[in-house]
Structure 1
């Protein structure tokens, strides 16, 4: 007589679902954490700025001082037509009661994370079409330069461009692939034992690249993000002065539990809404380097 064993009757076995929900691997939001100036408002925000000043000159005793003319313009954020980021998920009360995880709290956290990720992408590189956020990498008037991931001098040239525009950059922004390419740069160093043969040494000292848990290049923190994607297969690296970046915040990830709207379906809804805008207080606050 054959004995029935577990390996042949898996459909009859009891199973248990762990009360743990594994989240997908994803990057963290980086833009707001980099320290832009944030203004809380639910109305259109206008930030005045001086477009051009006057030129001072030497004037002799008793001579007339020439008139100067200061011109002004402004940066506008949160126009009334700007759309919000929104998401909505519905689920039945049965699913909420029978779930092995705290479904409502889990979904609430997940939706806020998804909205934050979408916002992060828009603040960096949003197209700005159809009344959406235009990211700082696409802002008009930003400085540009040429990137060569095989030559660290291109980064120095980018810093020189920013400094020539009287900008003090605070961060590098690049993808993990671009950062890895720069970290792999090596130089040939003569072997002291024979003076002829050479060995390769990393151009960037690994101890100088990472300061604690933060990456650095040429003394500036590096923001690693997928939200500076290549354009036409050409990689990009940005040099940004985050102190010259203004963010207007209308709604910050507002979560609403809709427990009555679909009462006739015995279902619950979770809605997350956020509304932000971004602009540069000075156009040259961003220097965008692109591969030739």
Structure 2
């Protein structure tokens, strides 16, 4: 008589499914966490700014003072034509009841996260076509410079460009690959010491270069295979927020299918209070 054992009869064994759902690895949302100015409004937002001021001069007693004219313009965000970012997913009631995880809560979290990832990419580098978000790297009038990932002096030149425009950058923005190339720079061919001290380049869980925090994101993609690094003054970045990931559970819409829907809608816009607040360095 042969004794049946579990290893030879897997078909007869119960399976146990862990009551967790492992999410895919995804790009972290970084733009809003960097600290731009956020304005909550559901109407078009107009932010006035002084385009040019006046110049003072020296005058003697009784001399007529020349007139000076101050000119104004404005930054306009959330025009009525700007589209919203939306997503919709459906699942059957049977799946919800039979799932080993809390499916509705899990899907809500997943969908909101996916929308946040898309929004983050658009705020950085959105094309702005067909009434969509134009990211800060696509804004007109931003400063530019040359990047050389083999020479840290190009970063110093970028800082000089920003400072020459009277900008005080708050963050570096670059991909992980660009940051790694900079971290690997050595003092010389015969000196294996790193240019950037590893003990100071990472302050806790945050990275720094030349005293400024480094934002690591895939959302500053290369242009024509040429890598880019940016300097940004986030105090001069304005974000208009109409809806912040509004979640709706649609439990009646597809009642004839016994199906539940989750809809997430958000509507944002971004602009620069001063165009030179962004300096983009591109490889030659």
Q: Which TM-score bucket, shorter chain as reference?
A: over 0.9
Shift of 1:2: 5.5
Give the equivalent residue in structure 2 for 1:34: 34
Q: Does 1:242 align with 2:234?
A: yes
Give the equivalent residue in structure 1 for 2:47: 47
Find the aligned partners of 2:92 and 2:188 in 1 and give their Cα distance.
Answer: 65
- Three-state SS of the structure 2 residue aligned to 1:56 is coil
Give the equivalent residue in structure 2 for 1:221: 213
TM-score, reference length from structure 1: 0.95
Find the aligned partners of 2:251 and 2:188 in 1 and give their Cα distance.
Answer: 67
- Three-state SS of the structure 1 residue aligned to 2:182 is helix
- Three-state SS of the structure 2 residue aligned to 1:109 is helix
Q: Does 1:273 align with 2:255?
A: no
Give the equivalent residue in structure 2 for 1:168: 168
Shift of 1:8: 4.0
- Three-state SS of the structure 1 residue aligned to 2:252 is coil
Give the equivalent residue in structure 2 for 1:151: 151
Size of the alignment, in residue pairs?
Answer: 284
Shift of 1:13: 2.2
TM-score, reference length from structure 2: 0.97
Find the aligned partners of 2:188 and 2:76 in 1 and give their Cα distance.
Answer: 51
1:108-127 deviation digits (Å, cap 9, x = unpaired) = 00011000000000000000
Partner of residue 245 from structure 2, selected from 245, 253, 257: 253
Find the aligned partners of 2:134 and 2:4 in 1 and give their Cα distance.
Answer: 65
Shift of 1:3: 5.2
Give the equivalent residue in structure 1 for 2:66: 66
Give the equivalent residue in structure 2 for 1:195: none
Find the aligned partners of 1:174 and 1:121 in 2 and give their Cα distance.
Answer: 13
Find the aligned partners of 1:57 and 1:131 in 2 and give their Cα distance.
Answer: 46
Q: Any gaps of 5 or more consecutive residues in structure 2?
A: none
Find the aligned partners of 2:188 and 2:277 in 1 and give their Cα distance.
Answer: 36
The alignment yields a C-alpha RMSD, in angstroms, of: 1.2
Q: Any gaps of 5 or more consecutive residues in structure 1?
A: 190-197
Give the equivalent residue in structure 1 for 2:95: 95
Q: Does 1:282 align with 2:274?
A: yes
1:27-54 deviation digits (Å, cap 9, x = unpaired) = 2100000000000000000001111111
